[in-house]
Structure 1
Amino acid sequence: MIRPQEYAAHIKSKAKALGFDFCGIAKAEFLEGEAPKLEEWLNRNYHGKMAYLANHFDKRLDPTKLVEGAKTVVSLAYSYFPEEALPEGQKDIKLAKYAYGEDYHFVIKDLLKTFLKELQEEIGEFSGRVFVDSAPVMERQWAQKAGIGWIGKNSLLLSKEQGSFFFLAELIIDLEVQPDPPFIGDFCGTCTRCIDACPTDAIVEPEVIDASRCISYLTIELKEEIPTEFKGKMGNWAFGCDICQDVCPWNRFSKTHTQPKFSPPEELKSFSNKDWEEMTEETFGKVFKKSPLKRTKFAGLKRNVNFLKNE
């Protein structure tokens, strides 16, 4: 087992050098315990209009269907907690913190490509793929299995050292690497702050989210008009939502990120509600050129801002 242990140490050292806050390793195998949970969640239609979540059921549970001969899942976490938050007063139009800067899908994926390429050069020939919320991978479950943290009542991965403000990513490889023990335990205890604080009652039970009621879903994934039942319940969030993270006691340990690409552009720091309401498509294209907000497109963001304006 000396070789797999050496690989594990090398992988973790390189992950740290690339700026990842956590790196855990798990054996690539079928997530048997997650199958009934996922099936029930889909049967309850908690995925809303996100039909893609019902696709590739087997691939979500079995990494060998994503990478032939897969032996190892390397789970990684990268902080996005800002040094200074944008205005988040009761009347301020707000963005989720992960959307302050450039789109993490591209920033983290570039890091992962470098990671995989250098590992292949240093270790020798092996195959694998990189994933950043871009394929049917149950990233929180793999991170728990790799010992990084536990899944909180808000369904997010929580770390005792750093809370939950981080991006998750994976390398699935056909190289045998010494796995870490899974994270055992639930350190949420009797706390229900996230459940109590959610203004749309999206957390229907601990660890179970009705995504069709989640503000992040309503402002990003939903392409239709936002249902009127959510009038007055959106908390002025125009893209995403941080409520269940902001109230979590573990996030008092959040660590400020050191990635310049995740910092907001200067123009965004001084945005007022009037700027949001009067934004033109030209301004949107300039300020949010590389932003996750491109996902909603200009029309989607205007829909969100208008909905908040008319609350």
Structure 2
Amino acid sequence: MNPTQLATLIKTTAYDLGFGFVGIARAERMEPEEARLEAWLNAGHHGTMRWMENHFDKRVDPTKLVPGARSVVSLLYNYFPADDTPSREAPKLARYAYGEDYHRVVRGKLRELVARLEESIGAPIDGRVFVDSAPVLERDWAARAGTGWTGKNTLLLNPKAGSYFFLAEIISDLAPATDTGIRDHCGTCTRCIEACPTEAISPAGYVVDGSRCISYLTIELREAIPEEFRGRMEGWAFGCDICQEVCPWNRFSTPHREPAFEPHPDLPGMGEREWREMTEEVFRRVFQKSAVKRTKFSGLRRNIDFLAEGTDPVED
């Protein structure tokens, strides 16, 4: 099987498993990205996420993460919901967390993809699969593989489908034909910059101060949310989709077809009162399979209380 045939096999098999876009890049040290990551870390934009300082060489060189690697296959898996009720009124929930935890769902798809490829090739593949689970610069690999470009909000933007995608990778010894990157189509648009209530996106775009991002404040930050952000959270209790909601490219988003990403039956009907009065029992029932579990009940309770303080009580 020649490199072109192998690339076609990888892509057609991935599409059959539900991945929306697939691109392939050569496994090599990422020199431009390395300099940007180092500058970002030196600026302290990772906040309390000290783990991002670890394994620097593995982050910028996939051959150190997977010895003998020759390619990085980047895959996009759609999670845009048909019903976005939980993101309309406070307390709001980021769309990616409506259904089951994406790590488990997409990783299962990747493993099945590798198994099918090994069967078709007739030989084992020496490599690893990743879904936001190791020191991999996922967005940068996706851009290198031509599945989109890095937007001013620093998310991967696909010209046909926007940005509501999970990113995943297969780093292996396979040597399929590679793809080329596509040019930046953000142009003069600054909607994401202007819409960010915590001013996390730099004035020129393309750099996000993670320590000011609402997603970081409501998920990654383990201590109290700084008072400077009170009244600026726009009602988000877990994650944030503001820079995606205002992005013109997301007019091309279409609902996913993944049953596992459908929300718990109780979630769409939860109003402000239900969120504020949520018990740990309800938390466990509604979010037992969701990525929301990362905050634990105490973390989500902190976020809800932070949003509620200073607001009018809910009327009977």
* Superposed pair shares fold, TM > 0.5: yes
Distance in 2, matches of 1:78 and 1:64, equals 25
CA contact (8 A) 2:107 2:129 kept: yes
Residue in 2 that maps onto 1:187: 185
Aligned-residue CA RMSD in angstroms? 1.0
1:67 match: 66
The offset of 1:92, in angstroms, is: 2.5
Rounded Cα–Cα distance in structure 2 between residues aligned with 1:289 and 1:58: 35
1:33-48 equivalences in 2 (<5 Å) = 33-48=32-47
* Matching residue of 1:24: 23
| Distance in 2 separating the partners of 1:106 and 1:137 | 17
SS of equivalent to 2:75: strand
How do 1:1-311 residues align onto structure 2 when only pairs under 5 Å count?
3-89=2-88, 91-123=89-121, 124-183=123-182, 185-204=183-202, 205-311=204-310
Alignment gaps of 5+ in structure 1: none
Q: Distance in 2 between matches of 1:181 and 1:87?
A: 37
* Distance of 1:82 and 1:247 partners within structure 2: 16
Name the SS for the 1:268 alignment partner. Answer: coil
Q: In the TM superposition, what whole-angstrom CA distance separates every residue of 1:165-224 from its partner, at most 9, and x where no partner exists? A: 0100000011111101222x1100000000000000000241100000000000000000
- Per-residue CA deviations over 1:94-140 (Å, capped at 9, x if unaligned) read 00000111110110001101111221122122211000000011111
Contact 2:86 2:93 in 1 (8 A): no
- Tell me the secondary structure at the aligned position of residue 134 of structure 1: coil
In the alignment, the residues of structure 1 paired with residue 286 and residue 87 of structure 2 have an alpha-carbon distance, to the nearest angstrom, of 19
Aligned partner letter, 2:290: S
Cα deviation for residue 87 of structure 1 reads 4.5
Of 121-130 and 106-115, more deviation after overlay is shown by: 121-130
- Segments of 4+ in structure 1 off by > 6 A? none
Provide the rounded CA distance (Å) in 2 between the counterparts of 1:87 and 1:243.
14
TM-score calculated relative to the size of structure 1: 0.97
Question: Mean alpha-carbon deviation: is it higher for 295-304 or for 278-287?
Answer: 278-287
What SS does the aligned partner of 2:63 have? Answer: helix
Partner residue of 2:314?
Answer: none
The unaligned stretches of length 5 or more in structure 2 are 311-316
Aligned equivalents of 1:149 and 1:217: distance in 2?
24
- Other-structure match for 2:313: none
Q: Secondary structure at the match of 1:266?
A: coil
Count of paired positions: 308
Q: Identity, % of aligned pairs?
A: 57
Post-superposition offset of 1:88: 4.0
Deviation at 1:86, TM superposition (A): 1.4
Q: Aligned equivalents of 1:178 and 1:87: distance in 2?
A: 42
Return the alpha-carbon distance in structure 2 between the equivalents of residues 92 and 237 of structure 1.
6
What is the one-letter code of the residue matched to 1:108? V
Measured against aligned partners, the alpha-carbon deviations of 1:215-240 in whole angstroms (never above 9, x if no partner) come to 00000000000000000000010000
